[in-house]
A = this chain, B = another copy of it.
Amino acid sequence: MRVSLDAMGGDHAPQNIIEGAALALRSDARIKTLFLVGDESRIKSELEKHRMSNDSRVQIVHASQVVEMDEDAIIAVRRKKDSSLSKAVSLVNDGKADIVISAGNTGAYFSISHLKLRTLEGVDRPGLACLMPGRDSRFILMDAGANIDPKPEHMLQYAYMGSLYAEKVFGIKNPRIGLYSIGTEENKGNDLIIATHQLLKTSGLNFCGNFDGHEIFSDKFDVLITDALTGNTILKTAEDTFRAVGYWIKKSVKKSLIRKIGALLMKGSFADLKKGADPDEFGCAVLLGINGLCLKAHGSASPRAIQTTIHRAGDFVQHHFNDHVIRVLKEVSQNKSFPADALR
């Protein structure tokens, strides 16, 4: 595969990005070309640190500008034509790369991708699919923040794309699709949820019904479908709760020496916890429904998180993910009663 990596996007760029790239180059034989897009001299000096300057798979593409993390997306798109983000996306548009990855400004990333690559054939609106941990498994949350005020038909397309993601990339057979609502009953929720529920029932997908916030980590579904505002709320509230619990534990441990010793002995558990549920591990998101593959690493992604995201990129490319989406959505639009085996 040929990966286009925005070397300047993210809170710890380019250091973490290049270190993650180096890790991936050493561990993923599927990488044929890795474009590193951004400030050439900084990229070169980071590559030297990790002794990867002479790797023939690496190609540096210089970009003179950087989209800041808190910059307004529309302004970034208009004024920063030579940003690393914009040039990284262009490499896919020009057919030079198969997939683009950035840990940068989410809004700007998706605006640029949408603008340059357009939507995929048969897709009405792209949606953001985010991987999250369950108690003992993991699930895909979609839409996690792309499409404010979606229609039921968009939600149905998210369910098809999310199901294909779970099947093709994670190898889950017949993925369980859940619909997020305010309660589990079929008639609960707002108009969007109630209409989407009816569409999912006859979708041919393995639809398991409605789930509410008390079942987020229940392992009862592989894909959870929701609108952007709610999805974004689930994602960010879970992250902030996770951090708050860490804060409360630390605060309470400081109160006594015994607790401090206990915390020291439990160090491994806390490391497990961070590894198992940290947004760095699970923060990888993908914008599905774009005519081109766009992966988003967490803004504060560690080198290992970047490496993981590059591996995941390999899975998308290897399985020709978008071809499956086009095929399935065509089947769906042609057969109003969806044939259950179209997903195979």
Contact = CB atoms under 8 A, between A and B. Distances in A.
9 contacts: A135-B244, A149-B191, A182-B232, A217-B241, A248-B272, A248-B276, A249-B273, A259-B266, A263-B266
A153 B239 CA distance: 31
Interface stretch (A48-56, A250-258, A302-310): A250-258
A133 B240 CA distance: 12
Interface of A: 72, 107, 133, 135, 145, 148-149, 180, 182-183, 185, 189-191, 212-218, 228-230, 232-245, 247-249, 252-253, 255-256, 258-259, 261-269, 272-273, 276-277
Nearest to A230: B233
How many copies the complex holds: the figure is: 2
Contact of A244 (B190, B236, B277): B277
Contact of A262 (B217, B228, B262): B262
Nearest to A133: B244
Which 4 pairs of residues, A with B, have the shortest CB-CB distance? A213-B236, A262-B265, A262-B266, A217-B244
A258 B271 CA distance: 14
A89 B259 CA distance: 46
A215 B243 CA distance: 10
Contacts of A256: 268
A255 B216 CA distance: 25
B190 A149 contact: yes
Contacts of A149: 190-191
